Amino acid sequence: MNTRRTFVKKSVLTAAVLSVAPLSSCVTISSTKAKVSMKSGQVGKALVLWYSQTGHTQRCGMVLAKELAQKGLVVESCDIRDFQKEQILNFDLLVLGAPVFYYDIPDYVKDFIKGLPDLNGVPVASYVTFGGPEGNQDNANYSILQLLSEKNGVPLAINSFRTLSSFPLAWSQDKVSEKTWNARYLPDENTFGEVRNYAGFIIDQVKENQPGVFVKKLTLRECSTFFGPEWWTKLLVKKHYIIKKNCVQCGECVEKCPVNAIDPAQYYVDTAACVLCFGCVNNCEYQAVHMEYSKETIIGFKQFLEQHDIKLYMPGELKV
């Protein structure tokens, strides 16, 4: 929770950073690399995990898993919410994906990684999905590898895949953001082609025993994380609750909420606990979650797609 005192501290720190001239993404803040030797140059069994709210990160992970399987690996894949952490030692390779969330990865993903057992030299790679060209995606990827390396994973590779934004504030105002509209058909076949190529690159890195050194760069978006952007965004959210007459008790909002802030039985949202991920609004098919931002009602991702007749691209591997 940000208080006035912590805000002042963050403001002073950020002012100090911004006083460095010129502010450049070439400036390295920190770096991470393998702390132990790689477990093996051979991969028999791979694990692909993701955290996904509207499906972009999931589809990329599923295609990546399919491609690894095509290359002869035994692959398991799922959302981190469905994975038992102690099973991770059964695998020779871990690839973990997450969406960029307020210019970083979600705290839920960070907490998941911190709760993993020692990886004992298992090679690891990351990917992120991001909705805007300036999403700080490289530093978000760094967050994943840095945490995995602290668990003695051996970092190999990162990649980022552009998608249609699932951030409702990009479309819930009078008009759709131009950047959002221009990306309305992403991820497309070219994107998934990049995902398939990334799977091959990861395998090559393992075979060649090529762990990497990864760096966090100084960017304006990185500086903004000092201010707690989700906290400031919440200041303009004045109403957030469940509409009783619309709710069918399907539980989708509960499943998507990373902080257990929703009780549909009581038609209640704990707004203090809410991290404003918009998972409840974006995934409710019945428009039962009401949220107002700056006095305007927010529509969710599914409603946005319907209103603009946007069909998400489904790669061949995932078609039934």
The domains found in the chain, sorted by start residue, are: 4-224 (3.40.50.360), 229-307 (3.30.70.20)
Q: Does residue 15 surpass a pLDDT of 50?
A: no
For range 273-289, the mean pLDDT: 95
Binning pLDDT at 50, 70 and 90, where does residue 132 land?
confident
pLDDT at 158: 98
Pair of tokens at residue 57 = 């990160």
Q: Does residue 88 surpass a pLDDT of 50?
A: yes
User: Per-residue b/e over 254-264, b at no fewer than 16 CB within 10 Å?
Assistant: bebbbeebbeb
Q: Does residue 320 surpass a pLDDT of 80?
A: no
C-beta separation of 34 from 289 below 8 A: no
CA neighbor of 39 nearest in space, from 197, 189, 156 = 156
pLDDT at 46: 97
C-beta separation of 198 from 157 below 8 A: yes
pLDDT at 13: 38
The pLDDT tens digits for 138-176 are: 999 999 999 999 999 999 999 999 999 999 998 876 688
Mean predicted lDDT score pLDDT of the chain:
90
For range 276-300, the mean pLDDT: 94
Please give the model's pTM, rounded to 2 decimal places: 0.90
Q: Which amino acid is at 8?
A: V
Q: Does residue 305 surpass a pLDDT of 60?
A: yes
Q: CB count, 10 Å around CB of 308?
A: 11
- Here the contacts of 10-17 (C-beta below 8 Å, separation 24 or greater) are 10/226, 10/227, 10/228, 11/227, 13/226, 14/223, 14/226, 14/227, 17/218, 17/223, 17/226
Q: For residues 46 and 76, give the distance between their C-alpha atoms in angstroms, rounded to a whole number.
A: 6
Q: Does residue 273 surpass a pLDDT of 70?
A: yes
Q: Is 85 helix (H, G, I), strand (E, B) or coil?
A: helix
The residues facing 133 across adjacent strands are none
CA-to-CA separations, 69 to 65, 87, 196, 197, 317, in angstroms, rounded: 6, 19, 11, 13, 12
The pLDDT tens digits for 26-70 are: 688 899 999 999 987 778 999 999 999 999 999 999 999 999 999
The residues facing 128 across adjacent strands are 98, 160
Q: For residues 88 and 233, give the distance between their C-alpha atoms in angstroms, rounded to a whole number.
A: 36
Q: Does residue 108 surpass a pLDDT of 90?
A: yes
Binning pLDDT at 50, 70 and 90, where does residue 20 land?
very low
Compute CA 310 distance to the chain's CA centroid, rounded to the nearest angstrom: 22
Out of 1-5, 190-194, 300-304, pick the least confident: 1-5
Q: Does residue 25 surpass a pLDDT of 80?
A: no
Q: Which amino acid is at 40?
A: S
Percent of the chain with pLDDT over 90: 77
pLDDT at 174: 67
For range 285-295, the mean pLDDT: 93
Furthest CA-CA distance within the chain: 59
pLDDT at 17: 39
Q: Is 280 helix (H, G, I), strand (E, B) or coil?
A: helix
